[in-house]
Structure 1
Amino acid sequence: MRCTSPPSGGPPVSAVVPRQPRSFHPLDIRRIHAEPEALASERGRQVLARFPSAEVIHVPSHWNIPHLHGNAGNVERWARTKREDLVLGVRKALSARPNGRSADWIAPSSANGCALACAYCYVPRRKGYANPVTVFTNIDKIIGYLGRHVTRQGPKPHANQCDAAAWVYDIGENNDCSVDALVCDNTADLIRAFRDWPTAKASFATKWVNRQLLELDPRGRTRVRFSLMPPADSRLLDVSTTPVPERIAAAGDFLAAGYEVHFNLSPVVLRPGWQADWAELLHRMDDLLPAAVKRQAAAEIIMLTHNEALHRVNLGWHPKAEQLLWRPGLQEPKLSQNGSWNVRYRVETKTLALAELRGLIERHAPWLRIRYAF
């Protein structure tokens, strides 16, 4: 595999997806693609009740929807597909995968896909072309499995970078749990379950401030990781998300409501002037975050990973983003843990950038403990 320049004949690079106003809601569900078993379940009925005007389309499998997944014609309506389409399925395989970076375990997901349209997101690669939210309606089975898994682990024997005392389970590897909570009660059910498991803690990253989650009383057993990047980058790359200043402003409220609040500095995109913009973001965090948030905060640093296939898809709906994301002179192929070929910043470039960012954190937000960086 090799990095290539944007192919000729593609959309004009001046095209850009406009930033949505703050009142923008990420969901306007017009079509629900549903497996029969999912449709008949209690959770499926809840979803139908929340979107009563949506057209229901019966499908044999949430993995096999030809007019939705793998349909190259959908690239021109990428963001609309994410906002207007919803899939209901039943999760068949239940397993918790060891992780060791952000969490000790990756929980069996209660959803995959997302209504948000971040240009760098790897999740659309799994099903192809937008990959809107798929909700798994057998949440009782998922929670039952997790409860048994937590019990088998017993108390955590020693601290690690994930947590000092609890086994941490990432419940949102391929989805944004804050957005999922707008669809149904899967996220709420998981948060309620973890508050009764004293040796475990749920964790999820989000780019959407959903204040309904403040009512769930997590009792310190759920970690919310607000993903942050300089607002100038976010306005271009984080399509349909809550603006970065509002994510920062929400941190104190979530801590007061019983959540542990961490941050994802993610993704770090290298472009001219990135150091100054990250310094400004860190300075803003230092100014605005309450002392209580700072005392318990930690962060993950995640450098941009991109993908040639996603790059070519993005040229069809948001080519201006690719001016920042696709930098062949700085990137090299990398075989990921899941066996797919991606592109990441060259080792020497990444090493230098991480050192610079750590220096900025020490200068502008010395209270921010870095749990890991990659």
Structure 2
Amino acid sequence: MTSPTTTNARRDPQPLLDVTRIYAEPDALASPRGRQVAARWPDAEVVEVASHWRIPELHGDEHNVRRWVRIKREALVLGVLKTVRTRPNGRSADFIAPSTSNGCAMACAYCYVPRHKGYSNPITVFTNIDQITAHLVRHAAKQGTKPEPNQCDPTDWVYDLGENSDCSVDAMISDNVADLIGTFRDLPNAKASFATKYVNRDLLDLDPQGRTRARFSLMPADTAKLLDIRTSPMAERLAALDDFVEAGYEVHVNFSPVVVEDGWLARWADLLDALGDATSERTKAQVACEVIFLTHNEQLHQVNLGWHPQAEEVLWQPRLQETKRSQNGQLNVRYAWRAKQGYVEQLLALIEERAPWCTVRYAF
């Protein structure tokens, strides 16, 4: 079901990655996908670990805050996904696909993934890709024809890829993403979907034939410079939208996270104008957006103070935010409910004014 790929032609991952140490479960390293990844950095030290999840040098050590970005650049983990399962979603996608990786080389200041992984979150590549794609084929077959349209898609079951990673970066490391796109290309009733903050033009060669939705995350450029660390500049993301449509992707955008700060609506007006200027009529005819306002986390706030305190000046604003205890017991903050309703209404009105062609799938 997967398609052959040309590993040697893949984009060079530098400067995002300059791997000097690979932590590997033995079974992962011995697998074809594990050998492929390790071969990309032949000079890297390989350290055998019992589990990809708990590596003392990486996870749970507060001193790693000072090496936050360095760990992301220099460390890579190879593991086997032990539990291969698909979970229901219903908001952005109908289902969350099994992860083929975890962690990210980028360092967005609001990212939730580090909350679950201690004080660093370098990329973990799961090497049992054949098991994962076979599971997805079986799962989609069991669903049959989608009975009615919903906010995820009018005709297809949508599977979200890269829940805890960024597929555009993952595609520079291994063929996992290419194999996933190839799998969904052949499924008559399902499509893949992934969100990204990085422009990897190698993805343009994967021939998705409309069966993969790429969702480019957008925010005002000045805000992104502060918060979207090690990601593609906003102008580069905007410039890629038409090209991905032409290459056979369905292209959506995520206005996420929306951060309320001085002049935020004027900044969003500029972004919406730039989005309109950057996109063709063909792109506008199929694009839709998700609007997601910032949710932050007390633990991540403390981590950020150790490596990027400037970000917390806009992310952590107690006068605007209220607390909410998450299901796992962590303390999250979000904009106070009544005020947030007003923020949402203001931004939706602005989208209708500046980009009426952009369908809003949902906003919260």
Q: TM-score under structure 2 normalisation?
A: 0.95
Q: CA deviation at 1:38?
A: 0.3
Match of 1:7 in 2: none
Q: Secondary structure at the match of 1:56?
A: strand
Q: CA deviation at 1:339?
A: 5.8
What amino acid does structure 2 have at the position aligned with 1:365? A
Correspondent of 1:135 among 117, 125, 136: 125
Q: 1:201 to 1:340 in 2, by over 3 A?
A: farther
Show structure 2 runs of 5+ residues with no match: 1-12
User: How many angstroms apart in 1 are the aligned matches of 2:17 and 2:158?
Assistant: 29
Query: Number of matched residues?
Result: 352
**Higher relative contact order, chain-length normalized (CA < 8 Å, sep 6+):** 1
User: How many angstroms apart in 1 are the aligned matches of 2:305 and 2:330?
Assistant: 21
Q: CA deviation at 1:338?
A: 5.9
Match of 2:20 in 1: 30
Correspondent of 2:229 among 226, 239, 242: 239
Show structure 1 runs of 5+ residues with no match: 1-22
Correspondent of 1:153 among 128, 137, 143: 143
1:289-304 aligned at under 5 Å gives the runs: 289-304=279-294
What amino acid does structure 2 have at the position aligned with 1:138? N
Query: Does residue 325 in structure 1 map to residue 337 in structure 2?
Result: no
Q: Secondary structure at the match of 1:182?
A: coil
Correspondent of 2:73 among 74, 83, 91: 83
Q: CA deviation at 1:199?
A: 0.3
Correspondent of 1:195 among 185, 202, 206: 185
Q: CA deviation at 1:337?
A: 5.7
Q: Secondary structure at the match of 2:283?
A: helix
Correspondent of 1:362 among 346, 352, 356: 352
User: How many angstroms apart in 1 are the aligned matches of 2:41 and 2:334?
Assistant: 40
User: How many angstroms apart in 2 are the aligned matches of 1:203 and 1:45?
Assistant: 27
Q: Secondary structure at the match of 1:119?
A: coil
Q: TM-score under structure 1 normalisation?
A: 0.92
Correspondent of 1:186 among 169, 176, 183: 176
User: How many angstroms apart in 2 are the aligned matches of 1:364 and 1:176?
Assistant: 29
Query: Does residue 351 in structure 1 map to residue 341 in structure 2?
Result: yes
Match of 1:6 in 2: none
Q: Secondary structure at the match of 2:306?
A: coil
Match of 1:307 in 2: 297
Query: Does residue 39 in structure 1 map to residue 32 in structure 2?
Result: no
Match of 2:88 in 1: 98
Query: Does residue 175 in structure 1 map to residue 144 in structure 2?
Result: no
Q: CA deviation at 1:64?
A: 1.4
What amino acid does structure 1 have at the position aligned with 2:81? R
What amino acid does structure 1 have at the position aligned with 2:172? L
Q: CA deviation at 1:130?
A: 2.0
Instruction: Report if the CA contact (8 A) 2:297-2:330 is conserved.
Output: no
User: How many angstroms apart in 1 are the aligned matches of 2:199 and 2:115?
Assistant: 25
Q: Secondary structure at the match of 1:120?
A: coil
The one-character-per-residue Cα deviations of 1:146-178 (angstroms, maximum 9, x if unpaired) are: 111000000100000000000000011110000
Match of 2:5 in 1: none
Match of 1:63 in 2: 53
What amino acid does structure 2 have at the position aligned with 1:66? P
Q: Secondary structure at the match of 2:351?
A: helix
What amino acid does structure 2 have at the position aligned with 1:306? H
Match of 2:99 in 1: 109
What amino acid does structure 2 have at the position aligned with 1:143? T
Q: Secondary structure at the match of 1:239?
A: coil
1:206-225 aligned at under 5 Å gives the runs: 206-225=196-215
Match of 1:3 in 2: none
User: How many angstroms apart in 1 are the aligned matches of 2:277 and 2:125?
Assistant: 38
User: How many angstroms apart in 1 are the aligned matches of 2:292 and 2:346?
Assistant: 14
User: How many angstroms apart in 2 are the aligned matches of 1:335 and 1:281?
Assistant: 33
Correspondent of 1:51 among 41, 49, 54: 41
User: How many angstroms apart in 2 are the aligned matches of 1:263 and 1:349?
Assistant: 25
User: How many angstroms apart in 2 are the aligned matches of 1:334 and 1:328?
Assistant: 13
User: How many angstroms apart in 1 are the aligned matches of 2:347 and 2:163?
Assistant: 25
What amino acid does structure 2 have at the position aligned with 1:104? D
The one-character-per-residue Cα deviations of 1:32-68 (angstroms, maximum 9, x if unpaired) are: 1100110000000000111111111111001110111
User: How many angstroms apart in 2 are the aligned matches of 1:162 and 1:174?
Assistant: 19
